[in-house]
């Protein structure tokens, strides 16, 4: 049985962490061939992931911006040889794989958190308030895997790398621009520590105290939907059911009430710290350490205390 | 141009979900049902495009149980012109998979010939985030998912998308599928007079069989379980106590 794994490409390079986590999930299903719709260097990097049997690289201008239509056509052109088509649950793969599945006339399984066997998978529904085990009766299984549920495969692979032809571009859509904020901070979904701010932070300027604590800890910065909707933080910081799912060693929630939609994105964190002035806030029900305090005092104090 | 917005009736986002004791699914009997929040955003966007003169008709479509009528009436009260209900299940617990939903929507679209379809990015019950992409594939149309801004320019839509690293803007040829993300707009509330008016707007009722679509699920639910519970830890009295606890654990 063979698995085709769509590598995650970000900014023209392999997104190693997300891809290596998907490799761990895919390995249990069969021999893994990684498809890189991108530059040869990304293919080389993918071949070094432990457990990768082979890498195929389609380097073509059509794939430069990850547009769903041409990438889906490429995946479908290769699908004949594989029983499973897998990708990490990133915004990009979640845009592409359902399109692939429909073109193959099969269902897609989004956000798989465990592989039971070759056709049975576990996935969260209702913002993680229920876990469903589903069995696919389709001839091919198309799935995205939640990266927080799998450890990254290590290095040391030596899969063969083969260049393949592109599969054309129907030109249904066209890239205009990306607005990606450059940041020295670790990436939100793979960071060891995440400090998130909510509506309680009050303004974009005030978010600086959240960022100062994050930088002290070498952490990524997250936000609740309310903070993003209010313009305190950019959209790609949103953690939750409809934002990013994170599971760091330490998650510090500041001025966040703990709505189920937010918890859906962080409740698998190892240690959760909550700082909130309302002792009744539901976030305290999932926190390992709760501190009832005004964040404008507690957060700068915490940043300072950590300096010593 | 005609715009179609597919809308899903599902458990209200404020309701605490309960897994049924026999593990067969989530209990949906006697719970409050509403329109999927992302679909409210999609309907709002369609109405705004009409108000801006970019569209002349907004048609809402729902696939599911008969009670989805209420959800369609809500969309009509917001300002949609016409509704189509495709009855494909007679028990709320019988959910229709995105692939089947997409096939029915394709049949509706073949008949209606809209210039644009705006769906929600994901339904908050099954969180699949799939239907719009599947529909685009079946139609052979372009797709612009996770939209936070939609503009119509001639025979293209210019769409800003919320992606992992920030924002991406793309141009898609019309007709196309757009899926709405949270920050596309803030949906309006329907006023009482509009709720009354909506009762008189046309609502066509069809069945999946009318479109010749087989809704047999491809996925079989083996079991549904409660997630592992997380228990509350301890309250600390001060920042210093917090720091020493975290140091004890070796995480800072
Ligand atoms: C379809 C849908 C999808 C959603 N998706 C997401 C999602 O992905 N992610 C997400 O986060 N939310 C999501 N939400 C929104 C969610 O329901 C909540 O509205 C949101 O998480 C609330 O954000 P918050 O906790 O920052 O704000 P609030 O609930 O307003 O909480 C603010 C908290 O700050 C505290 N506070 C205020 N001032 C201070 C102070 N000076 N010091 C200390 N504490 C203070 C208050 O006590 C309060 O607990 C979604 C909702 C819907 C309907
Ligand atoms: C209680 C329960 C029982 C289930 N039983 C089964 C079962 O027996 N067999 C099985 O295989 N699966 C079953 N499922 C799973 C289910 O069929 C699919 O996983 C589900 O439909 C996933 O898609 P989604 O609703 O998350 O759609 P998404 O792809 O997340 O929805 C995106 C958008 O598509 C549009 N859309 C989606 N659905 C509709 C609709 N019905 N009408 C109009 N527009 C729509 C909306 O615009 C929506 O915002 C069950 C699920 C539940 C909760």
Residue ranges lining ligand 2, Cβ < 6 Å: B 6-8, 25-26, 28, 36, 38-39, 42, 61-64, 93, 95-98, 101, 119-120, 122-123, 125-132, 217, 219, 221
Q: What is the rounded average pLDDT of the residues B64-69?
A: 93
Does a structural domain hold residue B44? yes
Residues A16 and A135 in one domain: yes
Region label for A296, one of left (φ > 0), alpha (ψ between -120 and 50) or beta (otherwise):
alpha
**ipTM confidence score:** 0.92
Residues A17 and A150 in one domain: yes
Residues A147 and A64 in one domain: yes
Does a structural domain hold residue A257? yes
DSSP string, chain B: -EEEEE--EEE-TTSPP-B-TTSSSB--TT--EEE-HHHHHHHHHHHHHHHTTS-SEEEEEEEE-TTHHHHHHHHHHHT--EEEEEE--SSTT-PPPHHHHHHHHHHHHHHH--SEEEEES--TTT----HHHHHHHHHT-EEEEEEEEEEEETTEEEEEEEETTEEEEEEEESSEEEEE-GGG--PPPPPHHHHHHHTTS-EEEEEGGGGT-----SEEEEEEEPPPP----EEESSHHHHHHHHHHTT--
What is the structure's pLDDT at A128? 86
Each residue's pLDDT tens digit, A129-177 = 889 999 999 999 999 999 999 999 999 999 999 999 999 999 999 999 9
Residues A127 and A234 in one domain: no
Evaluate if residue A308 carries a pLDDT over 70: no
Does a structural domain hold residue B239? yes
Ligand 1 pocket test: pick from A127, A189, A255 the residue with the most ligand atoms within 8 Å of its Cβ. Answer: A255
Residue of B nearest to A291 (CA): B236
Does a structural domain hold residue B252? no
What is the structure's pLDDT at B24? 85
Each residue's pLDDT tens digit, A27-62 = 999 999 999 999 999 999 999 999 999 999 999 999
Domain total of chain B: 1
Does a structural domain hold residue B183? yes
Query: Domain range holding B214?
Result: 1-247
What is the structure's pLDDT at B96? 83
Each residue's pLDDT tens digit, A230-265 = 999 999 999 999 899 999 999 999 999 999 999 999
Each residue's pLDDT tens digit, A268-279 = 999 999 999 999
Q: What is the rounded average pLDDT of the residues A90-97?
A: 97
Residues in chain B with CB shorter than 8 Å from the CB of A189 are 164
Span of A122-136, B91-105, B117-131 with lowest mean pLDDT = B91-105
Residue predicted with more confidence, B96 or A226: A226
Kindly give, in sequence order, each residue whose CB lies less than 8 Å from that of residue B112, ignoring residues fewer than 6 positions away. B2, B4, B59
What is the structure's pLDDT at B149? 97
What is the structure's pLDDT at A66? 95
Evaluate if residue B92 carries a pLDDT over 90: no
Kindly give, in sequence order, each residue whose CB lies less than 8 Å from that of residue A215, ignoring residues fewer than 6 positions away. A185
What is the structure's pLDDT at B203? 98
Does a structural domain hold residue B107? yes
Residues A144 and A199 in one domain: no
The token pair at A78 is: 């290769």
Q: Please indicate if any CB of chain A lies within 8 Å of the CB of B221.
A: yes
Residues A131 and A266 in one domain: no
Evaluate if residue A307 carries a pLDDT over 80: no
Q: What is the rounded average pLDDT of the residues B178-200?
A: 96
Atom of ligand 2 at shortest range from CA of B61:
43
Does a structural domain hold residue A266? yes
Does a structural domain hold residue A296? yes
Query: Domain range holding A214?
Result: 193-305
Residues A89 and A203 in one domain: no
Does a structural domain hold residue B66? yes
Does a structural domain hold residue A175? no
Question: Nearest ligand, CA of residue A242?
Answer: 1
Domain total of chain A: 2
Evaluate if residue B127 carries a pLDDT over 90: no
Give the CATH number of the domain where residue A108 resides.
3.40.50.620
Q: What is the rounded average pLDDT of the residues B89-110?
A: 88
Q: What is the rounded average pLDDT of the residues B91-101?
A: 83
Each residue's pLDDT tens digit, A189-234 = 999 999 999 999 999 999 999 999 999 999 999 999 999 999 999 9
What is the structure's pLDDT at B75? 98
What is the structure's pLDDT at B216? 87
Residues A41 and A139 in one domain: yes
What is the structure's pLDDT at B252? 87
Give the CATH number of the domain where residue B57 resides.
3.40.50.620
Q: A10, B182: Cβ pair inside 8 Å?
A: no
Evaluate if residue A297 carries a pLDDT over 80: yes
What is the structure's pLDDT at A183? 87
Evaluate if residue B242 carries a pLDDT over 90: yes
Residues A102 and A207 in one domain: no
pLDDT, averaged across chain B: 94
State pTM to two decimals: 0.89
Evaluate if residue B89 carries a pLDDT over 90: no
Does a structural domain hold residue B194? yes
Residue of A nearest to B159 (CA): A176
Q: B227, A290: Cβ pair inside 8 Å?
A: no
What is the structure's pLDDT at A76? 98
Instruction: For tokens 């290769």, name the residue.
Output: A78
């Amino acid at each position: 049985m063979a698995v085709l794994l769509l590598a995650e490409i970000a900014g023209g390079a392999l997104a190693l962490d997300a891809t290596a986590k998907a490799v761990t999930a895919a390995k249990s299903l069969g021999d893994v061939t990684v498809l890189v719709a991108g530059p040869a260097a990304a293919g080389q990097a993918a071949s070094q992931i432990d457990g990768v049997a082979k890498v195929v690289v389609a380097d073509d201008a059509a794939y430069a911006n990850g547009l769903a239509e041409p990438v889906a056509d490429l995946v479908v052109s290769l699908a004949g040889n594989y029983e499973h088509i897998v990708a990490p649950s990133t915004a990009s793969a979640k845009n592409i794989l359902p399109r692939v599945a429909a073109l193959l006339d099969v269902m897609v399984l989004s956000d798989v958190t465990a592989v039971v066997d070759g056709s049975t998978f576990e996935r969260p529904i209702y913002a993680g308030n229920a876990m469903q085990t589903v069995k696919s009766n389709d001839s091919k299984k198309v799935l995205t895997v939640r990266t927080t549920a799998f450890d990254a495969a290590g290095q040391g692979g030596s899969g063969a790398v083969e260049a393949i032809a592109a599969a054309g571009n129907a030109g249904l859509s066209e890239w205009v621009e990306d607005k990606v904020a450059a940041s020295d901070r670790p990436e939100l979904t793979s960071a060891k520590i995440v400090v998130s701010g909510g509506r309680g932070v009050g303004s974009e300027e005030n978010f600086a105290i959240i960022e100062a604590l994050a930088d002290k800890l070498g952490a990524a910065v997250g936000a609740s939907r309310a903070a993003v909707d209010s313009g305190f933080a950019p959209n790609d910081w949103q953690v939750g059911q409809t934002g990013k799912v994170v599971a760091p060693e330490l998650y510090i929630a500041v001025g966040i009430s703990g709505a189920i939609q937010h918890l859906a994105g962080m409740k698998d964190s190892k240690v959760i710290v909550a700082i909130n002035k309302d002792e009744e806030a539901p976030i305290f029900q999932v926190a390992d350490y709760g501190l009832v305090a005004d964040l404008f005092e507690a957060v700068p104090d915490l940043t300072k205390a950590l300096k010593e | 141009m005609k715009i179609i917005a597919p809308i899903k009736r599902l458990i209200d986002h404020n309701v605490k979900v309960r897994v049924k004791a026999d593990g067969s699914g989530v209990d949906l009997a006697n719970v409050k049902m509403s329109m999927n929040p992302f679909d409210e955003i999609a309907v709002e966007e369609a109405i705004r495009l009409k108000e801006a003169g970019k569209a002349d008709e907004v048609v809402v479509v729902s696939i599911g149980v008969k009670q989805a009528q209420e959800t369609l009436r809500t969309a009509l009260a917001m300002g949609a012109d016409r509704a189509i209900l495709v009855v494909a299940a007679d028990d709320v617990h019988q959910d229709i998979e995105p692939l089947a939903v997409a096939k029915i929507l394709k049949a509706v679209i073949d008949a209606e010939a809209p210039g644009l379809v705006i769906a929600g990015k994901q339904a908050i019950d099954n969180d699949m985030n799939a239907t719009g992409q599947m529909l685009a594939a079946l139609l052979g149309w372009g797709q612009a998912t996770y939209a936070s801004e939609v503009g119509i320019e001639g025979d293209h839509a210019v769409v800003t998308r919320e992606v992992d690293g920030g924002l991406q803007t793309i141009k898609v040829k019309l007709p196309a599928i757009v899926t709405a993300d949270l920050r596309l707009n803030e949906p309006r509330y329907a006023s009482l007079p509009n709720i009354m008016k909506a009762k008189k707007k046309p609502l066509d009722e069809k069945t999946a069989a009318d479109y010749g679509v087989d809704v047999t699920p491809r996925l079989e639910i083996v079991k549904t379980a409660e997630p592992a519970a997380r228990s509350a830890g301890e309250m600390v009295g001060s920042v210093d106590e917090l720091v020493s606890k975290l140091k004890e654990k070796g995480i800072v």
